Amino acid sequence: MPVTALKIVKGETVTRTKIMTLPGQESGVIIDAYACNEEFIPIGKPLQSTDTRDEELYHRELRKEAQKNGHFISEESSNSEWNPEL
């Protein structure tokens, strides 16, 4: 299960999220977005959604956009070969 970790800081509010995916039954991906504590341990139930992209493309594009905005946390993400170039 590929994982992309994000840390978003707005003012004094810090949001940590792990985005985990599974292949869809016929195509695309099933997405679970978990809120996380300070150690990036998921807490509570995930928000669930789907996307038409495959797992690799989904995570590559998510990471590229997150890195542009300073939100991508590579140390807490899996599949480092999908990380954007620095």
86 pLDDT tier (thresholds 50, 70, 90): low
85 pLDDT tier (thresholds 50, 70, 90): confident
For residue 39, what pLDDT is reported? 97
Q: What is the per-residue DSSP string for 60-71?
A: HHHHHHHHHTT-
- pTM greater than 0.75 (yes/no): yes
Domain spans in the chain, listed from the N-terminal domain onward: 3-77
Q: What is the pLDDT of residues 55-70, one digit of tens each?
A: 999 999 999 999 999 9
Q: Are the C-beta atoms of residues 54 and 28 closer than 8 Å to each other?
A: yes
